[in-house]
Amino acid sequence: MMPTVFITGIDTDAGKSVATGLLARWLCTAGYSVITQKIAQTGCEKYSEDILLHRKLMGIAPTDEDREALSCPYLFSIPASPHLAAAREQQRIDPEVISRAAETLEKRYEYLIIEGVGGLYVPLNESLTVLDYLTRKRYPVILVSSAKLGSINHTLLSLEALSRRKLKVLGILYNEFPPEDPLIAEDSQQIFKRFLKEFGYQDRLISIPRIDFDGAALPHVDFSNFFI
């Protein structure tokens, strides 16, 4: 298994945070020390809401790394694309700050699960996108998708972009929320598997069931297929 994995999505609200938290939980259950990172968060103050969701899904309290801002190096109050949110607060996102924080986390934990922001072409600053950062770091990628309208187009474009940059894709996490017609869901999954193979990847797809945050037990999701 690889010690660092990057979770990206086909767009905003694809389910990256839930996917990141559940993968971290699965690794914790397997006996590994695990930490997550959100490279940048907008629309929040003091703490990253996504990091707090990761910790909730992992069943742990916020960590020292959360308080040190290692798990979310950039936090902006304005709910906008990170490049704009940073500029509105007279800041500029420096990828080296994110990278150094990740390297510190990698030294402290056995596994680091990194959540991106938005989709692959979201700008972090005026000259760098999430995909550019990924290309520099060469992290293996898990792509989060779903059956919602437009997901086929967004998923295939994302796979093509990752393939062109010669990035390793472990597979697709298929978010079952919001629920869709079973026929549409099955068709989408088959298309995603076919195009994974066409782009030179293993046709690995794992479904994430809907999560009830009102006290119900969390569903068990087995991620082992991504790490064969």
Q: Strand 75-76 and strand 41-42: pairing?
A: parallel
pLDDT(1) > 70? no
How many angstroms separate the Cα of 196 from the Cα of each of 24, 41, 63, 77, 170?
A: 24, 29, 36, 37, 10
Between residues 29 and 216, the one the model is more confident about: 29
> For residue 156, what pLDDT is reported?
98
> For residue 73, what pLDDT is reported?
98
pTM of the model: 0.95
Burial category of 90 from C-beta neighbours within 10 Å (exposed 0-12, middle 13-18, buried 19 and up): exposed
- Helix (H), strand (E), coil (C) string for 56-91: HHHCCCCCHHHHCCCCCCCEECCCCCHHHHHHHCCC
> For residue 216, what pLDDT is reported?
63
The annotated binding site for substrate is made up of 42
pLDDT digits (tens, 9 = 90+) for 162-183: 999 999 999 999 999 877 788 9
139-171 burial string, b = 16+ CB within 10 Å, else e?
Answer: bbbbbbbbbbeebbebbbebbebbbeeebebbb
Spell out the CATH class of 4-227: alpha beta
Q: What does the pLDDT average to over 204-224?
A: 85
> For residue 228, what pLDDT is reported?
77
Q: What does the pLDDT average to over 56-83?
A: 97
pLDDT digits (tens, 9 = 90+) for 73-125: 999 999 999 999 999 999 999 999 999 999 999 999 999 999 999 999 999 99
The annotated binding site for ATP is made up of 13-18, 50, 115-118, 175-176, 219-221
Whether 38 is catalytic: yes
Separate counts of helices (H) and strands (E) for the chain = 8, 10
Domain boundaries, the chain: 4-227
